[in-house]
Structure formats: C-alpha cells, structure tokens
Amino acid sequence: MRKLRMGSVPYINAAPLTRWLETDEATPFVEVVYAPPSVLARQLEARELDVALVSSVELARREDVRPVADLCIGSRDSVLSVRLFCTTPLRQVRTVALDTSSLTSVALTQVLLVRAYGIEAEYRHAAPDLDAMLGQADAALLIGDLGMTAAHPAVREVVDLGSAWRAYTGLPFVWAVWLANAETPDQPLADLLRRAYQWGKARIDAIVDAESQRTGIPHELCARYLKQVMVYAIDETLQAGLERFLREYAALHGRFPSPTP
C-alpha cells in the first residue's frame, strides 16, 4: 500500500495533531507536507494530498470532500492567533488587508465586520507582513504564529476573531478540520489520525517545550495556547459553531471563497 500524503499547517496549533505522524512508527504509512491553509486547499483539490488539516470553509466550497476522525483546530472563545490589527477604532475601519495564507479567517472577518459590526469595508489580499499591510489599509488580518506575536506602533485596536465570534453567536469556532478527498480510503486514515492525536495529547508538555524552542514564542504563551485555548476533538457545541459559520457566510455572500485570492 502506498503512503498516504497528509497536509498540515506549519503553525504550532497543529503540533498535537501531527507530531506522531513524523515518528518512525508512522512514517512507513504517511508523508506529511506543511503549507499555509490556502495552499493546502489547492493541493487537496488537485489530488496532490489525500487528506489535509484544511480551512473549515472548504466543507462548503467543495462537495467531494469529507471530514475524517472528528478532529479539528478549534477554540471556545479567544483564539490568540487570528487577529485583526486596526490603526483606527474598529467601527471606523474602511479598508482591510487580508492574509493570503488564510481562507476561513478571511471569511470570518467578512462575516463579523458586516453582520456583527455593520461595517462595509474594501478588502485587499496581501502577504502576511503587518507593516506592509497597514501601509495600504486601515486594518490587517494575520493568522497563525505571526498572528499571535505580531505588533505595530500604529495599531490602536486589536480584535481577536475567536472572542468576536463568541460574543456574536455564543458559540465556539472551528478553524480547520481534517478533510479527505472522496476516493481516499477511510482506513487506515482515520485510525492513524486518532492515534496521532492521542499521542500528542499524552505528550503535550514536551510538545509545548519543543514548539516554544522551534518558534521562539515564549514558553508561557505556548503553554496557554496549546493547553488552554486550542480544542482538538469536535463535540456538539463545536459542530454547532461550524454550522452557524457556514450559514452566516452563505447568507452574506451566497458563495464561498476561492482558495486562490
């Protein structure tokens, strides 16, 4: 049997789901490819990957994918790593630079600005460079490790999109899910992904140590993020949050974002 090609985001939030997949025990069965969410979506659709930890909005954009193993990257309130950096008070924002790495967070930004805050903004896609982004827009969306650590002297307000979603809906949010192409076999895929999660869960302290050292993110922040903020097992409330998000975006646009900005 050939190896399964798995795609994952390179951020620290995926580490508890993926580190076992890099061990000698797993590598006979899987090969892991790391890329930003928008790239993973294209690779999955092109069949360059069998499964990917990919933006949750892909569930609506594509009909030929399915969730695997009831696992996700989720948060119940503040997420810390998906933030809108504003040089004006939020309600005065009129132009927004959107991180080209992102799909779901781009969609969520649009949902929240229009439906939660009543803001009609102009959107511009940009590489994740806060200084350059704020040079062309009132606000900038950043995700991942950079979204958690970025700062800029011109920023007057920072909006955590997880907290904003919770305030708007009372629900948690699902940022990414394991999605497989229709022809990808369920087994051994689902068992491998669940085993990887259980391995990571049991070794979370070691993962925090390793990710802090790898990224330079302070150990205390890594520990809070991976042990208190991140949620990986989908339950009824996370499922409800995901379904609400997909309805909100469809109501706003009547369509879903392309993986190519």
CA 114 to chain centre: 21
Domain contains 138: yes
> Element (H or E) spanning 72, and its range?
strand 65-75
Question: Last residue of some domain: 144, 169, 194?
Answer: 169
Q: Are residues 89 and 102 in the same domain?
A: yes
Q: By C-alpha distance, which of 33, 11, 16 is closest to 228?
A: 16
Identify the pLDDT of residue 61: 85
70: left (phi over 0), alpha (psi -120 to 50) or beta: left
Q: Are 103 and 116 in contact (CB under 8 A)?
A: no
162 three-class SS: helix
**Number of neighbours of residue 199 by Cβ within 10 angstroms:** 19
Identify the pLDDT of residue 252: 81
Domain contains 248: yes
Question: Last residue of some domain: 169, 189, 219?
Answer: 169
Domain contains 259: no
Confidence of residue 255 (pLDDT cuts 50, 70, 90): very low
Q: Are residues 98 and 161 in the same domain?
A: yes
Q: Are residues 177 and 71 in the same domain?
A: yes
Domain contains 261: no
Give the strand pairing for 173-181 and 65-75: antiparallel
* 86-106 per-position pLDDT tens digit: 999 999 999 999 999 999 999
* 4-47 per-position pLDDT tens digit: 999 999 999 999 999 999 999 999 999 999 999 999 999 999 99
Question: Last residue of some domain: 128, 143, 169?
Answer: 169
Residue type, 214: R
Q: Are residues 19 and 56 in the same domain?
A: yes
Q: Are residues 189 and 127 in the same domain?
A: no
Predicted model pTM: 0.93
Q: Are residues 151 and 230 in the same domain?
A: no
* 74-90 per-position pLDDT tens digit: 999 999 999 999 999 99
* 180-238 per-position pLDDT tens digit: 999 999 889 999 999 999 999 999 999 999 999 999 999 999 999 999 999 999 999 99
Radius of gyration of the chain (CA): 18
Q: Are residues 151 and 25 in the same domain?
A: no
Domain contains 223: yes
Domain contains 260: no
Identify the pLDDT of residue 1: 58
Q: Are residues 163 and 92 in the same domain?
A: yes
Q: CATH no. for residue 67?
A: 3.40.190.10
Q: Are residues 69 and 198 in the same domain?
A: yes
Q: Are residues 164 and 182 in the same domain?
A: no
Identify the pLDDT of residue 175: 97
Number of domains observed in the structure of the chain: 2
Q: Are residues 62 and 188 in the same domain?
A: yes
Q: Are residues 97 and 43 in the same domain?
A: no
Quote the domain boundaries for residue 93: 82-169
Burial of residue 108, with CB atoms counted within 10 A of its CB: 0-12 exposed, 13-18 middle, 19 or more buried: buried
Domain contains 222: yes
Domain contains 45: yes
